[in-house]
Copies of this chain bind each other. A is one copy, B any other.
Amino acid sequence: MTALLLSREDLCFQLYDWLHAESLLSAPRFAAHSRETFDAVIDSCERLGGDVLLPCHALSDREEPGFDGEAVRLPDAVVEAVRALAASGLVAATQDDAVGGLQLPVLVEKAAQAWLSAANIGACAYPMLTAGNASLLLAHGSPAQVEAFALPQLRGEWTGTMCLSEPQAGSSLSDITTRAEYERDTPLGPRYRLSGRKMWISGGEHTILGNIVHLVLAKVPDADGRLPQGTRGISLFIVPRTLTADEGGERNDVSLAGINHKLGYRATVNCALNFGEGRFRPQGRAGAVGYLVGKPGDGLACMFHLMNEARIGVGLGAAALGYTAYLHALDYARNRPQGRLPGPAGKDASQPQVPLVAHADVRRMLLAQKCYAEGGLGLVLACARLVDEQRIAREAGDGEAAASKQRLLDLLTPVVKSWPSQWCLAGNDLAIQVHGGYGYTRDYRVEQLWRDNRLNAIHEGTHGIQGIDLLGRKVAMHDGAAFEAYVRMVEATLSRAAGGGCAELADALAARLARLREVTAALLRVDDPVARLANASAYLEAFGHVTVAWVWLDQVLALGGRDDGFARGKRQAARWFMRWELPRVDAWLDRLADNDDTALAMRDEWF
């Protein structure tokens, strides 16, 4: 509790009372589990977060990763923390028993992971990327590739990365120029030699564990040596830092080109990597050895498997950072005496000062943070439950139900990635403000949490990219089936709310859902994609607020007749969200309904 990472009471409420985690136990996949095993996993992550990750959070910021001419160095405590994470079994937690996993629901895994992210999000990037990397290989790799590259990651012996961006192509993957030349077939798949430069590689170079499995997007040249254009020409390769013993066991031709010096999130070393520059010469020649995953040209589709998991992970991390900052602000506000209430009584300086939390303006800031933190976490957990539901349906052979859950998850992926990244950052800002001048010093944790969280609106697809994904792709896909499923989900909650004691909350949400439907339909009628997507970020933000309003209403319904302090706090926060937060969307939706062209019509030369 003193670590102030998350509220276990709220987490259990969300997990068991709201999202009914125990109902998952009836699925064959989770039959070996019980509420006790769920709680045990959460217990162990709460301890790991508080005892191992949190103590090196400030240190990992103060002593950022550096290259000493031989190797990338991180503080010993950070190295040990990442090793402890790898040893915890969390990387494989949701995977099949057959590959060493625990077959844990993703819902429970995310609830457990939240403690780690709240403690030191930068240290968590290694196991999260490793889990995503292994998961991709399990889905798309050959049995030999799984054996050689996924299993060591799942066992916590190696780490993994995703290598997409290049210096000249950040969000624009069709413009990558990393080249993969076919060499020969091997038991590990068709072997290529890669050359090119990759940027923003988290965990790209270090010696924390035994090896690093890079998953690299590259293009295979045609007979004339030209690279295919566009995203369809992109293939995916496994490029291990050190080759397997069967392949010679040498250091591969992947070298560190530079370490990025970041604003926060510093336990994660983030690198520029050169592939095939000739610094290392496996089997006597330059070129990074890579093994094709899946078919040529399928690279982006495979990578989105990892990206989509990573996007939920980003949302989780953002929510966890907002959550722990909120608890720190609350703790400070309860314990810091400061001033007196307005009015004549407040001018009596013979009376003791009141705690900060006694001031309505401080409660305003705490309520907003509570809305963002608990609402953001709820959004992430609701999406995590969809992953489980999709899998249960698939394993039960109910393809239609599985597809329906998957569509809803696909629709919500840009929202779960971006909403916590935006609003839990706003919560971090408020946490600083509650601390006053102390919040601006490095003696308190809130400033680092704010800096750490700033990354989340950027990596794994910027806010703008998520908006285009939502409005340009997701709401229209399958003839709008995903959007309709979303509307039905919200309407189901509204139906349950009808006639109950939360008419104000339900009415507020119902009005915005109706407006969102109108606006969505209007936008989909705009033929010109440039015009339709001009305000996609505003659409994303409005969609996000409506969705989190749904989270809040649904959580209030899950309280039932409960009337203790916890329940009253939830209801008050929900009221806050509906009264002060949700109305933000009205102006955005009005502009979207007009398909406002102010940004579109602005010309470069007028700035």
Contacts and interface: CB of A to CB of B under 8 A. Distances in A.
Interface in A464-503: 464, 467-468, 472
A168 B450 CA distance: 26
A370 interface: yes
Given A338-B171, A349-B230, A457 B433 contact: yes
B171 A535 contact: no
A406 B260 CA distance: 51
A87 interface: no
A320 interface: no
A358 B323 CA distance: 37
A179 interface: no
A436 B462 CA distance: 7
Interface centre among A346, A350, A364, A536 (most CB of B within 10 A): A364
Given A174-B349, A580-B591, A533 B262 contact: no
Given A330-B607, A349-B175, A342 B533 contact: yes
> Which of A230, A359, A464 has the largest number of chain B CB atoms within 10 A?
A464
Contacts of A586: 583, 586-587
A593 to B, nearest CB: 12
Contacts of A359: 464
A411 B314 CA distance: 43
Given A433-B463, A536-B361, A607 B370 contact: yes
A172 B261 CA distance: 39
A374 to B, nearest CB: 11
A365 B142 CA distance: 44
24 contacts: A169-B353, A171-B338, A175-B353, A229-B349, A260-B443, A261-B442, A261-B443, A262-B440, A262-B441, A263-B441, A342-B472, A342-B533, A360-B534, A360-B599, A361-B468, A366-B602, A432-B454, A433-B458, A433-B463, A440-B458, A565-B603, A565-B606, A576-B602, A580-B591
B569 A598 contact: no
A575 interface: yes
A72 interface: no
B458 A439 contact: yes
A440 B464 contact: no
A98 B526 CA distance: 68
B342 A529 contact: yes
Contact of A537 (B230, B364, B532): B364
Contacts of A472: 342
How many copies make up the complex? 2
Interface in A398-453: 429, 432-433, 436-437, 439-443, 447, 450-451
10 closest Cβ contacts across the A-B interface? A569-B606, A583-B587, A172-B339, A229-B349, A360-B534, A343-B529, A364-B599, A342-B529, A361-B464, A230-B349
A262 B598 contact: no
A437 B366 contact: no
A354 to B, nearest CB: 10
A530 interface: yes
Given A350-B229, A437-B459, A572 B598 contact: yes
How large, as a class, is the contact surface on chain A? 35 or more
Given A262-B441, A361-B468, 18 more contacts: A170-B436, A172-B339, A175-B339, A231-B349, A261-B442, A330-B607, A342-B468, A342-B472, A343-B530, A355-B604, A363-B599, A432-B458, A433-B462, A572-B606, A575-B598, A580-B587, A583-B587, A583-B590
Given A367-B598, A584-B587, A569 B261 contact: no
A125 to B, nearest CB: 14
Contacts of A605: 565
Main secondary structure of the interface of A (DSSP, over half): helix
A127 to B, nearest CB: 22
Interface in A518-536: 528-530, 532-536
A52 to B, nearest CB: 25
Interface in A171-211: 171-172, 174-175, 199-200
A315 B607 CA distance: 23
A175 B354 CA distance: 12
A357 interface: yes
A214 interface: no
Given A261-B443, A262-B440, A580 B598 contact: yes
Contact of A361 (B264, B457, B467, B532): B467
A144 interface: no
A340 interface: yes
Contacts of A360: 530, 533-535, 599-600
Contacts of A604: 334, 355, 357-358
Given A349-B230, A350-B229, A263 B440 contact: yes
A20 interface: no
A528 B467 CA distance: 45
A1 interface: no
Contacts of A528: 343
Contacts of A451: 263, 451
A83 B448 CA distance: 32
B603 A568 contact: yes
A165 interface: yes
